[in-house]
Amino acid sequence: MRQNPERRTALLDAAIEVLAREGSRGLTLRAVDAAARVPVGTSSNYFANRGELLRQIMGRTYERLTPDPAELAETMTAPRSPELVALLLRQVHQRMRADRSSYLAMLELRLEGTRRPELGAELNRIFSAELENNIRFHLDAGLPGDRVAVILLYLAMHGMIVDDLTVPDVLAGKAGELTDELCRRLLGNAAPDAS
């Protein structure tokens, strides 16, 4: 059976919608075929089993949530300051909002990972590497704040995005202001850390 990359991506995008809409128990290869409007059996030609599908979905959500390099380069022309960090975090949040399905699918995968040790191990590896990437980017770019500050920013933004996607009334439209306050308070007196 020949495979093509566009078809694979379309199947993964359909799987993300199924996960976000139905939850992880609703995610079967058959449900993906239906959501992608392809003949029954197509997904099983691309993914050996459900575990392999789950693994590839994770990679696809990262692709979808990655910033446009040109836009990021443009943002990074600004002077290094707590305000610039706040702008970068607002942009992360904006991407999540613009692609709710990807973030909800990631939350479903996290919960599924607590039940499937192999997926759990893979997620631990991916999320740990991603946090290290964020820390490296922050420090290499000379942004204010040390390693611990970046981790604290990551945790607060993660909590904020989970609330914003699942119980949006709690922050009642204040997410942007809270992001600014977070950076002002955590980074206000911080120098860049070259460690």
Rounded least distance, CB 154 to a second copy, Å:
7
Q: Which is nearer to a second copy, 10 or 14 (CB)?
A: 14
Q: Which is nearer to a second copy, 76 or 162 (CB)?
A: 162
Rounded least distance, CB 81 to a second copy, Å:
17
Query: SS3 for 145?
Result: strand
Q: Which residues of 150-173 are buried (b: 16+ CB within 10 A; e: fewer)?
A: beebbebbeebbeebeeeeeeeee
Q: Which is nearer to a second copy, 1 or 167 (CB)?
A: 167
Residue position matching structure tokens 């990021």: 72
Interaction site with a second copy (CB under 8 A): 20-26, 104, 107-108, 110-115, 120, 123-125, 127-128, 131, 148-149, 151-152, 154-160, 162-163, 165-172, 178, 181-182, 185-186
- Per DSSP (E only), the strands in 54-137 are none
Measured CA to CA in angstroms, residue 162 lies from 67, 97, 100, 159, 175 at distances of 19, 11, 10, 5, 12
Rounded least distance, CB 42 to a second copy, Å:
23
Rounded least distance, CB 58 to a second copy, Å:
11
Q: Which is nearer to a second copy, 10 or 135 (CB)?
A: 135
- Per DSSP (E only), the strands in 35-171 are none
Q: Are 54 and 110 in contact (CB under 8 A)?
A: no
Rounded least distance, CB 46 to a second copy, Å:
24
Q: Which is nearer to a second copy, 136 or 158 (CB)?
A: 158
